[in-house]
């Protein structure tokens, strides 16, 4: 019966992040810096709201778009933080995490042969959904622009088949952040074109030198922009699975259909917890962001001291150093680092072909864990450096 399975599904691969994590699981005494998940517990007041929802038996279905109170809170949050204006009644959908939001959006706007422009390296969750829709991913190489996409780069890739441009900034895996000028230039390019923008802003609260700027807030872009956000990274709520899918009413009503037949609605308990997260500000998110910044600075300083080439990330909690000078593929480097130093990182090729020659390090772990990992990594890197300087690796 296997021959009856859809070929596009058979062609899909489990993400490179998870595949390498499975390899790591076979080793003992490993310090893993692979998963992009906050190491902080969900703040007490959020967990207590979830517990209260259970005790009050608020465990049934909600509206398929999510609790109206939560949509209203999400709308206020997005307007206050980013100047985005979405009607909570018919322009905001609460999804089962940002991942489901991406899938619902793409399944709504893509059909056979449509092209989707993506900056590479890029998060591995977009291409499989694009391919399942019968659409075609079109990559822009950002390795020579510090991982930043520009209007000119987009212009060069636009064809009459271009349906959507994905702006995944702040970026996983690179930590790159588009500034306001770059976003406005992209908006100007697209202003007269029938092309959707999928703006994945799940890391928007984790920027350090400058605030995140949303393309959907620019006049003329609202009707063609799909904004995705959520609470997983900013509020340490990855397992609660709450995302926000926002778009103009004509589009949201269609995305709601796809969402409904995917999941009906997210967990009611998680929605009540998310409502508390947005209604009450106890300073937890600010404290977590400050910790991530400190960790980013520490890892960046240690890597550069080792002689590694790395662009200092302006957002997220990732570091994406180059390993090209070591004359190893990203898989070879990561596997040798795992075997010889007992440190796990993600091979860069997990983030498209343009991620080859890099590794991703998650800085979401504690300072103690980061220090241990980098102390193990330093002599490993030194040995590789000496080997290259002496005439190449064997």
Domain containing residue 362: CATH number: 3.90.1150.10
Q: Domain end: 279, 309, 331, which one?
A: 279
Residues 147 and 202 in one domain: yes
Residues 32 and 133 in one domain: no
Q: Quick check: is 49 in a domain?
A: no
Q: Domain end: 215, 246, 279, which one?
A: 279
Q: Quick check: is 46 in a domain?
A: no
Residues 267 and 316 in one domain: no
Q: Quick check: is 148 in a domain?
A: yes
Mean of the pLDDT values across residues 169-173?
98
Mean of the pLDDT values across residues 364-381?
98
pLDDT of residue 18 exceeding 70: no
pTM above threshold 0.85 = yes
Query: Which residues, other chains included, contact 283 with Cβ-Cβ below 8 Å and sequence gap of 6+?
Result: none
| Bigger pLDDT: 170 vs 390 | 170
Indicate the helix (H) or strand (E) that contains 199.
strand 196-200
Mean of the pLDDT values across residues 158-178?
98
Q: Quick check: is 394 in a domain?
A: no
What's the number of domains the chain is made of? 2
- Among 12-16, 73-77, 119-123, 129-133, the minimum mean pLDDT is found in 12-16
Output the furthest CA–CA distance in the chain (Å, rounded): 69
Look at residue 393 in the predicted model and tell me its pLDDT: 52
Residues 116 and 233 in one domain: yes
Mean of the pLDDT values across residues 83-101?
98
Residues 125 and 198 in one domain: yes
Mean of the pLDDT values across residues 218-247?
97
Using CA atoms, how far apart are residues 189 and 193, in angstroms rounded to an integer? 8
Residues 237 and 108 in one domain: yes
Residues 273 and 138 in one domain: yes
Q: Quick check: is 348 in a domain?
A: yes
Which CATH number covers residue 81?
3.40.640.10
pLDDT of residue 48 exceeding 60: yes
Residues 78 and 210 in one domain: yes
Kindly give the pairing relationship between strand 196-200 and strand 162-167.
parallel
pLDDT digits (tens, 9 = 90+) for 284-293: 899 999 999 9
Using CA atoms, how far apart are residues 69 and 279, in angstroms rounded to an integer? 10
Residues 252, 66 contacting (CB under 8 angstroms): no
Residue 314: give the domain boundaries.
Answer: 2-41+284-389
| Residue linked to tokens 């207590």 | 48
Mean of the pLDDT values across residues 259-285?
94
pLDDT of residue 154 exceeding 80: yes
Look at residue 394 in the predicted model and tell me its pLDDT: 46
Q: Domain end: 247, 279, 311, which one?
A: 279
pLDDT of residue 379 exceeding 80: yes
Residues 65, 71 contacting (CB under 8 angstroms): yes
Residues 311 and 367 in one domain: yes
Residues 359 and 233 in one domain: no
User: What letter would DSSP give residue 307?
Assistant: T
pLDDT of residue 149 exceeding 90: yes
**Averaged pLDDT score across all residues of the chain:** 95
The three-class DSSP label of residue 296 is helix
Percent of the chain topping pLDDT 70: 98
Q: Quick check: is 50 in a domain?
A: no
């Amino acid at each position: 019966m296997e021959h009856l399975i859809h070929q596009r599904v058979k062609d899909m691969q489990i993400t490179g992040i998870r595949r390498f994590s499975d390899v790591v699981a076979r080793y003992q005494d490993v310090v893993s810096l692979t998963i992009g998940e906050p190491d902080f517990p969900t703040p007490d007041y959020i967990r207590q709201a979830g517990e209260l929802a259970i005790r009050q038996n608020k465990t049934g279905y909600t509206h398929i778009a999510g609790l109206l109170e939560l949509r209203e809170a999400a709308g206020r949050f997005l307007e206050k933080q980013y100047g985005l204006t979405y009607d909570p009644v018919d322009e905001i959908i609460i999804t089962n995490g940002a991942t489901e939001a991406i899938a619902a959006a793409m399944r709504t706007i893509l059909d056979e042969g449509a092209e989707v422009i993506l900056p590479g390296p890029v998060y591995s969750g977009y291409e499989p959904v694009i391919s399942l829709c019968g659409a075609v991913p079109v990559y822009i190489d950002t390795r020579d622009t510090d991982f930043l996409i520009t209007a000119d780069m987009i212009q060069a890739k636009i064809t009459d088949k271009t349906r959507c441009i994905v702006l995944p900034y702040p970026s996983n895996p690179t930590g790159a952040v588009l500034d306001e000028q770059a976003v406005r230039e992209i908006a100007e390019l697209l202003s007269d074109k029938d092309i959707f923008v999928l703006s994945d802003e799940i890391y928007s609260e984790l920027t350090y030198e400058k605030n995140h700027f949303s393309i959907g807030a620019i006049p003329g872009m609202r009707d063609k922009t799909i904004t995705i956000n959520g609470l997983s990274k900013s509020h340490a709520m990855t397992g609660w699975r709450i995302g926000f899918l926002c778009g103009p009413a004509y589009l949201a009503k269609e995305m709601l259909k796809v969402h409904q037949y995917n999941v009906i609605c997210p967990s009611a308990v998680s929605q009540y917890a998310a409502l508390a997260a947005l209604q009450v500000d106890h300073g937890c998110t600010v404290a977590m962001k400050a910790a991530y910044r400190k960790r980013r600075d520490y890892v960046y300083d240690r890597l550069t001291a080792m002689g590694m080439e790395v662009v200092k990330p302006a957002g997220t909690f990732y570091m994406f150093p180059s390993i090209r000078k070591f004359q190893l593929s990203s898989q070879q480097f990561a596997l040798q680092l795992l075997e010889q130093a007992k440190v796990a990182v993600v091979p860069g090729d997990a983030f498209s072909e343009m991620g080859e020659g890099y590794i991703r390090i998650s800085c979401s772990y504690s300072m103690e864990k980061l220090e241990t990992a980098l102390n193990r990594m330093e002599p490993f890197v030194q040995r590789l450096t000496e080997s290259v300087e002496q005439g190449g690796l064997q």
